[in-house]
């Protein structure tokens, strides 16, 4: 059975509002795009366009970064800190 949740490398489910460390900087998960029927059209678009993923808000460095679901395994420098 396919698990629809998107997870950190450590195994925890990624959730909106999570506090994370991204490239060594404090950041926040702005949204998780995992539902093609999400009422927010921008989130649904990310699911249709790239298969889903997460938007990270890192104001001290890169601003916003979208990471596609299928590329998350490549990001070793995304670390879960705590729930928002």
Band of the pLDDT at 1, cuts 50, 70, 90? very low
Whether residue 21 is predicted with pLDDT greater than 60 in this model: the reply is yes
pLDDT tens sequence across 3-17: 568 999 888 999 999
pLDDT single digits (tens) 30-82 = 999 999 899 999 899 999 998 999 999 998 877 899 999 988 888 788 999 99
Distances (CA, A) of 84 to 5, 17, 18, 31, 41: 18, 5, 5, 12, 24
Give the model's pLDDT for residue 28: 97
Cut 0.85: pTM above it: yes
Contact 25, 58 (CB under 8 A): yes
Tokens 């489910």, located at residue: 13
């Amino acid at each position: 059975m396919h698990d629809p949740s998107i997870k950190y490398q450590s195994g925890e489910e990624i959730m909106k509002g999570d506090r994370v460390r991204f490239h060594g900087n404090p950041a926040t998960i702005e949204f998780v795009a995992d539902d093609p029927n999400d009422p927010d059209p921008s989130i649904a678009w990310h699911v249709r366009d790239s298969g889903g993923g997460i938007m990270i808000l890192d104001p001290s460095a890169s601003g916003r970064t979208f990471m596609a679901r299928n590329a998350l395994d490549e990001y070793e420098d995304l670390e879960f800190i705590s729930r928002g």
